[in-house]
Each structure stands twice: as structure tokens, then as C-alpha cells.
Amino acid sequence: SMLIISVLVGIMTYLGFLFLGLDFALFLGLLNGTTNLIPFIGPFIGAVPAVGVALLDSPALALRVLILIIVIQQLESQVISPQLLGRSLGFHPLFVIFALLLGGHLAGFRCLLFALPLATALRIFFKHFWRVIELSIHK
């Protein structure tokens, strides 16, 4: 699902750059989509060349490009990722957001990487545990 998310980010970024009239919109959109695969710093790495190219044209265009990238990244992290990750893991999107927030709050930045795998493992454990309890009650 991360690949699908990155493709969507690349397409949205490309279309936004095209709308803004940014030179090299296709290349920079593909770069943004590709670097989006890198956790946490990827979007920043992809934004730097786009803002740099826009800055060569005008500071106003650079600001619009930066705002566009921020809006797309917020849309990706708040809407698209929870929907796709939740669907692929079998979780409700709000649970995905809650698990990430709880993991970040309890254990900091490092736990964000492990929040969803841990939630999946706990769900499997408790489903199995509940099944064992049900079997022991019905004997």
C-alpha cells in the first residue's frame, strides 16, 4: 500500500506543479512520489528540488509550490494513508490514526514505525486468546 500511496502523491504533485506552471513538473512530481517512499524525511528531500526550481522563477512561485507540497503531504498523512493502510491491515482508518498517535505519545518517534505492526500482532494475539477462552468455556 505504500507504493500506491507514493504513486498517488506523485500524480497529485505532478498535477499541482503543472497547474502552477512549474518547469520540469513531470520530473519533480515523479521525484516527489519516489522520495515519499522514504519514511519521515522523504517528502522533505522531494520538496527541496521543487522549491529550488520554483525559486529560480520567482519567490511567489516557490511559496505556492511549498504550500502545495504541504497540503498534499497533509492530505496523504491524514486521509490517504489511514484509508489504505487501514484497509490493507483490516483496521478502521481512525484506529490507524489513533494507534500512530498513541505510539508516538507513549514511546516517541521510534514507536511510530512499529505502532501498526504491533497493533496487528496484538489483534492476532487477542483473537487467538479469545478463541481459546471460548473453547474452554464451551467444553
pLDDT tens digits for range 20-55: 999 999 999 999 999 998 877 889 999 999 999 999
pLDDT at 139 over 70: no
pLDDT in the model for residue 35: 94
For 61-70, the pLDDT digits (tens) are: 999 999 999 9
pLDDT at 87 over 90: no
| CA-derived radius of gyration, the chain | 20
Between residues 56 and 80, which one has the greater pLDDT?
A: 56
E strand or H helix at 26, and its extent?
Answer: helix 25-35
For 91-110, the pLDDT digits (tens) are: 777 787 888 888 888 877 77
Enter the pTM of the model. Answer: 0.70
The C-alpha atoms of residue 58 and residue 132 are separated, in whole angstroms, by 66
- Average pLDDT value over all residues in the chain: 86
pLDDT at 86 over 70: yes
pLDDT at 9 over 90: yes
Long-range contacts of 113-121 (CB under 8 A, 24+ apart): 113/39, 116/85, 116/89, 116/91, 119/89, 119/91, 119/95, 120/89, 120/91
